[in-house]
Amino acid sequence: MQDFTSKSFLCIKMSYFFYFFYPKYIFNSLITKNTKQFFATFDKLKNTTIMHHQEYLNNLKQTIESYYPLSDQSWKQIESTTHFQTLKKGETLLGNGEIAKNLHFVAKGILRAFITDEQGNFYNKNLFLENYFAGSKVSLMLQTPSNFTIEALEDCIVININYKKYMELIYKNDDLKNFYIAHLEKNWIIEKEQREVALVMQNATERYVSLLEKHPTIADRVPLLHIASHLGITPTQLSRIRKSLEKDL
């Protein structure tokens, strides 16, 4: 987007220069050429964006169908409830105290959901990488203020699914209803319970290894501070764990 903007400004500056310092017939030919270049760049950018968006939508469809297969009609209905949103690193997707309106599918990047206490200390409740759904389920279901914040740890692209329309479709389509149940069971019951048990039964090293098994690239993309917070340990403890694991290799 930055290259596209720079070229557009360059075209405008060149137009003013040639208008005042060149004969008009030369100016007209030049501005025509620059205009063509401008729109060629615009079309190229637009086509690239469309191609990427289609790829991300395909990933969304595949993720949904990993839980339960959808009919073409149901997928088209789901697709109609979506819109894309880009986030810069550090930008907030959902603020603490904000009422959630959308379920978010991470098309590109990483999000963190965190809680901040009165002293300003934060705890990373969850980390969401590509092809995962993020959101405050309680806020969505009850339409009450969210108890945590969702923030981008990288530049992100998310696909927002309008939750109200999404629920209306679930009531009308059995395949979407089955997906909804399967997704809730896996992510909000099974994995939640496993994580709660791990915090009690596993030591910090085991929890870190489990996280790496689930997300092999996470240590290269997420600051150790945030990984440590997610695991319920200090950054110093995590550094020691990493050094110990490196020695064992």
Give residue-wise pLDDT tens across range 160-202. Answer: 999 999 999 999 999 999 999 999 999 888 888 888 888 889 9
pLDDT band of residue 5 (cuts 50, 70, 90) is very low
Q: How far apart are alpha carbons 171 and 217 in whole angstroms? A: 38
Same domain flag for 72 and 55: no
Q: Are 141 and 100 in contact (CB under 8 A)?
A: no
First to last CA, the chain: 43
More confident residue, 9 or 78: 78
Q: If you average pLDDT over every residue of the chain, what do you get?
A: 87
Residue 39 lies in a domain: yes
Token pair of 187, please? Answer: 């992510």
Q: What residues make up the domain containing 8?
A: 2-60
Same domain, 144 and 80: yes
Taking alpha carbons only, the member of 129, 83, 135 closest to residue 106 is: 129
- 56 with 71, same domain: the answer is no
Residue 15 pLDDT > 60, yes or no? no
pLDDT in tens, 91-139: 999 999 999 999 999 999 999 999 999 898 999 999 999 999 999 999 9
Residue 45 shares a structural domain with residue 110: no
Residue 19: the pLDDT is 47
Task: Work out the average pLDDT over 44-59.
Answer: 79
Shared-domain flag, residues 98 and 190: yes
Tell me what pLDDT residue 189 has: 86
Which are the contacts of 141, defined by CB distance < 8 A and separation ≥ 6? none
116 and 136 co-located in one domain: yes
CA distances to 10, 149, 236, 241, 248 from 231, rounded to whole Å, are 49, 18, 12, 12, 21
Residue found by looking up tokens 């991470």 in the block: 106
Nearest by Cα to 105 from 54, 61, 141: 61
Q: Is the pLDDT of residue 40 over 70?
A: no
Same structural domain for residues 86 and 169? yes
Both 71 and 42 in a single domain?
Answer: no
Residues 191 and 75 in one domain: yes
Listed residues 201, 223, 243: the one ending a domain:
201
Instruction: State the CATH number of the domain containing residue 190.
Output: 2.60.120.10
Asked whether residue 193 is assigned to any structural domain, the reply reads yes
CB 238 within 8 A of CB 224: yes
For the chain, percent of residues with pLDDT exceeding 70: 80
pLDDT confidence band for 43 (50 / 70 / 90): low
Do 194 and 109 reside in the same domain of the chain?
Answer: yes
Domain annotation covers residue 226: no
Domain boundary among 42, 60, 78: 60
Number of domains, the chain: 2
Cite the beta strand spans of 129-216 per DSSP E: 133-134, 149-152, 156-162
Q: Is the pLDDT of residue 46 over 80?
A: no
Q: Are residues 148 and 82 in the same domain?
A: yes
In this structure, the answer to whether residues 72 and 131 fall within a common structural domain is: yes
In angstroms, the CA 133 to CA 76 distance is: 19
Could you tell me if residue 176 is inside a domain?
yes
